[in-house]
Amino acid sequence: MPDEPFKSTGLFKKYTVQNKIFQNREVLRHSYSPRELPHRVDQIDSIAVILAPALQGATPSNILIYGKTGTGKTATVKFVGSELENESSEFSPCRMVHLNCETIDTQYRVLAQIANHISGHDLKPSDRAKNTIPATGWHTDQVYSELKNVLEQAGGLQIIVLDEIDKLVKKSGDDTLYNLTRINSDLKNARVSIIGISNDLTFKDFLDPRVLSSLSEEELVFPPYDAVQLQDILHQRAEMAFLPDAVSEDVIALCAALAAQEHGDARRALDLLRVSGELAERESSDKVLEAHVRRAQENIETDTMSECVQTLPRQGKMVLCAMLLVSSSGQKVFTSGSVINIYRELARELDVEPLTHRRVSDLINELNMLGIVTARVVSHGRHGRTTEIYFNSPTNQIRTVVMNDPSLRECSILQPLL
């Protein structure tokens, strides 16, 4: 007997009633590329003037761009790159290859991704290589050689954007950058320029001086947005995202003010506005209220903290566990020295090579930058300085997330955290 056709139960019907809030919520997402970038005219001009020689056949300087999360670095680079591609000619083509080094974080993957992108983007279908570089299996020298072949065949200028370049350097060292900054000496018909984007000024400490000199021919710093500037950004997006009268000035001002407290993070402001709208939509409200913004802030902070802890590298989780152990013993404020001592005990039990004192201090600073802890340097006069650390909020959620790591759950030293 044939199966009866599946009949919908109407599960989603109550959630897809006539929308009273959004007309296009996608413009509030990080992936959206606006046609105008409020309050980034100076930065757009600074990048454009550096890249302009490319339109005359010259190789522009490499650029390092710094700025905290949500300051418009990536959006600005993509905007300028798009303009450059549109204005370049077939006699002197300019193309931009954008890589996120949070996920593409080894030399093999970076070189392979660049080559595969170019061979699929710049060449005519009949000219495309039949085989792309596999995800694994080749020697790095072979991948580098194939990248040079692909570049020569494509010709013109390739601007390689290494977003979150610090993640690549901290995981894989600076060999990738060494090779890319010197690849032009091996090319005849093509040129390469590099733009590195980072929210960590200290990552330069990990670079060989020769690499740093080649990579940072030009440096730009993106300042945080203030509350007024964030309001302008939200106004621009809200006009496209929401139905008329769904969002008031007060709601936009509140989202901007809350995000301005988070070092002027435009991404946080957009997330607040979008999630506030979604909460209003779920209540079948026809307006986004300030109460929705307050609830959205609570939701985002919870989700952000969990994601930050989950995505920490293993050594970062070990340092965090050491902090949690010190805190659980009753010390609300503790020193970096006590954290490092427990970290070394953890490393021994887990059979992990311990990091140097300086590298552990760097990880403490990263946890501070992520907002998981607060770390402050306190001077004791002639007795020197020490770093005092404390958690900004109750640690129950942090403990739950970090102890989901199976390798940490089995560690006897960490049993008090379970």
Cα separation, 16 vs 13, whole angstroms: 5
Contact 238, 273 (CB under 8 A): yes
Contact 19, 277 (CB under 8 A): no
If we measure between CA atoms, which residue out of 278, 349, 199, 254 comes closest to residue 29? 278
Which pair of tokens denotes residue 220? 């730009």
Contact 62, 218 (CB under 8 A): yes
CA 207 to each of CA 99, 168, 170, 354, 380: distance values in angstroms, whole numbers, following the listed order: 19, 11, 10, 21, 32
Annotated binding residues for ATP: 71-75, 225, 237
If we measure between CA atoms, which residue out of 398, 390, 251, 387 comes closest to residue 327? 390
For residue 359, the one-letter residue type is R
Phi, psi of 140 (to 5 degrees): -60, -35
Phi, psi of 374 (to 5 degrees): -110, 125
Burial level of 108, CB count in 10 A (0-12/13-18/19+)? Answer: buried
Annotated binding residues: 71-75, 225, 237
Burial level of 282, CB count in 10 A (0-12/13-18/19+)? Answer: exposed
Reduced to 3 states (helix: H, G, I; strand: E, B; else coil), residue 106 is: coil
